[in-house]
């Protein structure tokens, strides 16, 4: 097969196409996670699920995704502030 490809390519293009293509095989599996909720929280979740028509697992997925996104942003902000104080660009306020 390589001979056929090489014969079809212009001379200058042969050298530029010396790319090694690799196939990465990864088996991705989702492992179910059990979330333990207080009875009051579970009741509120079921209420919201019934009201919105969305499955409880979808609501939990959305809530966790939002929480983790917010937590990541907060962490970046705090790290940035710490770096500014450490470098002397900003002075801490004593209360």
Per-residue pLDDT of 44-63, as tens digits, reads: 999 999 999 999 999 999 99
Mean pLDDT of 25-37: 78
- Residues 82, 72: contact at Cβ < 8 Å? no
Question: Reduced to 3 DSSP states, what percent helix, strand and coil does the chain have, rounded to the nearest 5?
Answer: 60, 0, 40
Task: Give per-residue pLDDT as tens, 2-26.
Answer: 444 455 555 655 555 555 555 566 6
User: What is the reported pTM?
Assistant: 0.56
């Amino acid at each position: 097969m390589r001979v056929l490809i090489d014969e079809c390519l212009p001379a200058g293009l042969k050298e530029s196409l010396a790319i090694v293509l690799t196939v990465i095989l990864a088996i991705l599996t989702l492992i179910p996670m059990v979330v333990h909720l207080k009875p009051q929280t579970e009741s509120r979740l079921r209420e919201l699920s019934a009201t919105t028509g969305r499955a409880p697992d979808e609501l939990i997925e959305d809530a966790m995704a939002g929480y983790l996104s917010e937590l990541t942003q907060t962490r970046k902000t705090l790290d940035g502030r710490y770096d500014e104080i450490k470098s002397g660009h900003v002075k801490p306020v004593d209360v």
